[in-house]
Structures are given as C-alpha cells and as structure tokens.
C-alpha cells in the first residue's frame, strides 16, 4: 500500500504525521483468508514435527514449556544452571540451584545469567545486544512468576502473550470504517507494515485490559477513560508460528502465542494520533479496503489474524461468504502444546 494514494488526509496537531480518512488499495495478487491466517500459524500440525526440537523443561515439572532449534542449542553459551540432553530425548532442563528452597528465584537467576552471556557475547541477532522487559512464562506453577526477557523468549520457544484492539466507527453514508495503524520504519519486526489500532505484549502482573489502556495512550493518544468506557473483550486467539519473512532475526524459531482481542467503537470525532515513535500513521479505512489490504499481505501476520477475527465477529466473513470459514475459525484457535497461565 503506497502512501502517495492516500485520500483526504486529516492533519494531526503536533504529531508530525497525518491520520488519513481513507485509502485506496491497489489491485494485485491476493490470497485467501485461510492462507493469511495460516501465515501466522505455520508450525506443522503433524505430531512428528515436534521431534526435531529440544523441549524446554523447568524444575520439578513434567510438562514442556518451549521448543528450541538444534542450532540454537548448539550456539547457546549454556551455564551450569542448565542440563542439555541429546538422547534418548532431546531436552533442555533448568536446574534448581536452591534445591527447592526458592525455585522461582533460582529459575529467574538461571535465565538472566544465560541471557546476560548471550548479550555479552553477541550470540543472537534478535537480542540486538540489549536487554528487554521481563515477561512471565505461562503455566510455570510455582506460586510466583518465572520470567524471561521478551526478546529472548523466541530462542526458547516459550509461549508469548499479547493484546490487540481494533477501533472502528459507524458512519451514515459509508457504514463501518476501521482505524488501522502503520508501523514505523525503524521497528525491528515488520517495519512499515499495517497493524491493528493498538497492540502490545502483556507483561507479567499486568492484566490484558490494562495493557490495552496503556498502549492506547502510548500508541494512539486515546484517553484511558474513553477506552475503559467503550472497549469490549472479544476473546482469545492462539497460534504457533515460525520466524521467517519480515523477521530480521534468527529464522525458524518457534513462537507459540495467545492474543487477547478487544474492539472499541469510537465516536466519529475521536481521531487516533501517534504518541510514541512506534506508529507513523493512522488510517480510517473502509471495510472493503481493509479486506483488500489483508488479502494482499499488507498487515503484520498476527495483526492480520486479529482483523480477520474482527470481520468474523462482525458477520462480514461468514459461512456463506467464505468456503473456508470452519478452517479459518479453527486456525484462529489452535490448541497449544504448552500450558497457559493466568493473565
């Protein structure tokens, strides 16, 4: 989607960018909705697919918490806090240096020491030589959270959690229109691609709704009171992807993910405006143009799945309009092989 075919720009005071009331979408090769959903759920469904990975285990826990690539295991500067087994089962186990006295603290220390080494030795491109915020490992049942840095989670194939909100308006003459953001060009993943109105990772101890409220202010300048009053929870999407196209870091990493989805009908006079440097523009797009952009792969993959779910929930994609409706719905709600945890 080109920025030179924008129609009716609305200037945003003090933002240095513009919000656009609608956009034309150029014609071109397009995929089906099922193919678009499959792009963010591309880990094979065959049970044998997992056999090529190393499973990540936490102390005193028989359930795996992630999948690691063999080349990641080979490159990782393992410390004495981890045990790597190559046969008969490929496993990486975090050891409890506290001998049960304080397992969460021991696990957190083990991960942090290892990630510190990775950054110090510049082992992995996706870490970017810097630390990131701590995210809880879902399903780690020790009574206290167990953390891993967000950027490092994909190295271990640990389940990640996000929250997305789609904002829309209803007009008398054009029907529903959707506020779509464009990611800044400097963002590490999927720079310049279209995105949902608001999105962010769910940090440990922060409820998904609070994530949406905070991100609404940070990314779109939407007042917290307005969001609290109008936002609606619409469920959870789950998928399991492999890093690839659009991801500049290591390729083929396993990324299990679940996304809390929300939507909000905004008053017609409320215009999202970029507040931080992660969003370059907002566009108020017709449903037809959103659909065309989706099918032409102009959206970040997981955001495309969220918007397809939005179109399903608003009866725009139905069993009558799409022969793949059942498969689309199933692929939006994949059963993950790892335990989930409380929000």
- What does the pLDDT average to over 244-270? 94
Q: In the chain, how long is the greatest CA-to-CA distance?
A: 67
Mean pLDDT in residue range 54-72: 97
Among the listed residues 260, 30, 46, the one whose alpha carbon sits nearest the alpha carbon of residue 162: 260
Give the mean model confidence (pLDDT) for residues 325-330.
Answer: 98
Residue 14 banded pLDDT, cuts 50, 70, 90: very low
17, pLDDT greater than 60: no
Residue labelled with tokens 């005193």: 60
- Residue-wise burial string across 251-263, b where 16 or more C-beta atoms lie within 10 A, e elsewhere: eebbbbbbbbbbb
Distance, CA of 68 to CA of 248 (rounded, Å):
18
**Chain centre to alpha carbon of residue 210:** 16
- Residue 6 pLDDT exceeds 70: no
CATH fold of the domain at 47-156: Transcription Regulator spoIIAA (3.30.750)
Residues 49 and 5: their CA atoms lie apart, in Å, by: 44
Q: Picking from 74-78, 139-143, 209-213, 280-284, which range would have the lowest pLDDT averaged per residue?
A: 139-143
Across 28-37, b (16+ Cβ under 10 Å) vs e yields eeeeebbebb
Domain locations in the chain?
Answer: 3-43+159-331, 47-156
**Residue pLDDT, tens place only, 98-134:** 999 999 999 999 999 999 999 999 999 999 999 999 9
Residue 239 binned pLDDT confidence (cut-offs 50, 70, 90): very high
196: its two tokens: 């949902």
Element (H, E) at 57: strand 54-57
Q: Which CATH class is domain 3-43+159-331?
A: alpha beta
């Amino acid at each position: 989607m080109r920025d030179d075919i924008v129609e009716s720009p609305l200037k945003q005071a003090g933002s240095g960018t513009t919000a656009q009331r609608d956009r034309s979408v150029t014609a071109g090769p397009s995929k089906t909705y099922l193919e678009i959903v499959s792009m963010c759920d591309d880990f094979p469904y065959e049970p044998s697919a997992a056999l090529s990975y190393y499973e990540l285990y936490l102390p005193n826990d028989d359930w795996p918490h992630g999948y690691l690539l063999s080349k990641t295991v080979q490159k990782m500067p393992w410390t004495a806090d981890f045990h790597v087994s190559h046969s008969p089962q490929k496993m990486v186990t975090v050891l409890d240096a506290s001998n049960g006295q304080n397992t969460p603290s021991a696990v957190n220390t083990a991960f942090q020491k290892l990630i510190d080494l990775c950054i110090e030795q510049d082992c992995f491109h996706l870490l970017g030589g810097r630390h990131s915020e701590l995210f809880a490992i879902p399903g780690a049942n020790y009574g206290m959270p167990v953390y891993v840095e967000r950027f490092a989670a994909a190295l271990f194939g640990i389940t990640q959690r996000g929250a997305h909100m789609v904002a829309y308006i209803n007009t008398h003459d054009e029907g529903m229109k959707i506020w779509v953001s464009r990611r800044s060009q400097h963002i590490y993943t999927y720079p310049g691609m279209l995105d949902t109105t608001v999105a962010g990772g769910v940090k440990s101890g922060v409820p998904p709704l609070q994530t949406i409220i905070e991100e609404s202010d940070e990314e779109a300048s939407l007042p917290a009171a307005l969001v609290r009053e109008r936002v609606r929870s619409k469920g959870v999407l789950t998928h399991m992807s492999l890093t690839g196209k659009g991801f500049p870091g290591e390729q083929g990493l396993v990324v299990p993910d679940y996304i809390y989805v929300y939507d909000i009908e905004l008053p017609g006079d409320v215009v999202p405006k970029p507040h931080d440097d992660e969003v370059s523009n907002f566009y108020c797009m017709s449903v037809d143009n959103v659909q065309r952009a989706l099918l032409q792969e102009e959206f970040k993959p997981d955001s495309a799945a969220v918007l397809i779910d939005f179109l399903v929930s608003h009866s725009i994609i139905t069993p009558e309009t799409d022969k793949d409706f059942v498969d689309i719905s199933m692929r939006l709600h994949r059963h993950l092989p790892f335990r989930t945890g409380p929000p």
